[in-house]
Amino acid sequence: MENTLYDRLGEDNLKLLIDYFYNLIFEDEQIKHLFKNDKEEIKQKQFMFLSQFLGGPNLYTEKFGHPRLRARHIPHRITQTDAVAWLKCMSAAVDKLPIDEKLKDELFERFPQTAMFMVNTEESNN
Residues between 60 and 79 that touch ligand HEM (CB under 6 A): 64, 69, 72-73, 76, 78
Among 82, 89, 99, 107, binds ligand HEM (CB under 6 A): 82
Write down how long the chain is.
126
CB 9 within 8 A of CB 107: yes
The single residue among 49, 94, 99, 107 that binds ligand HEM, judged by CB under 6 A, is 49
Q: Is 47 an interacting residue with respect to ligand HEM (CB under 6 A)?
A: no
Based on the shown chain and the rule CB under 6 A, indicate whether residue 17 belongs to the binding site for ligand HEM. Answer: no
Within 8 A by CB and 6+ apart from 89, the residues are 21, 24, 25, 28, 31
Q: Where are the alpha helices (DSSP H) in 1-126?
A: 5-9, 11-25, 39-53, 59-64, 69-73, 80-96, 101-108, 112-117
Alpha carbon 21 to its chain centroid, in Å, reads: 8
Interface with ligand HEM, residue 120, by CB under 6 A: no
Residue from 6, 21, 46, 89 binding ligand HEM (CB under 6 A): 46
Position among 1, 12, 37, 65 found at the interface with ligand HEM (CB under 6 A): 37
CB of 98 to ligand HEM, least distance (A): 22
Question: Who contacts 56 (Cβ-Cβ below 8 Å, separation ≥6)?
Answer: 4, 6, 7, 11, 14
Binding range to ligand HEM, per CB under 6 A, among 6-14, 43-51, 92-100, 101-109: 43-51
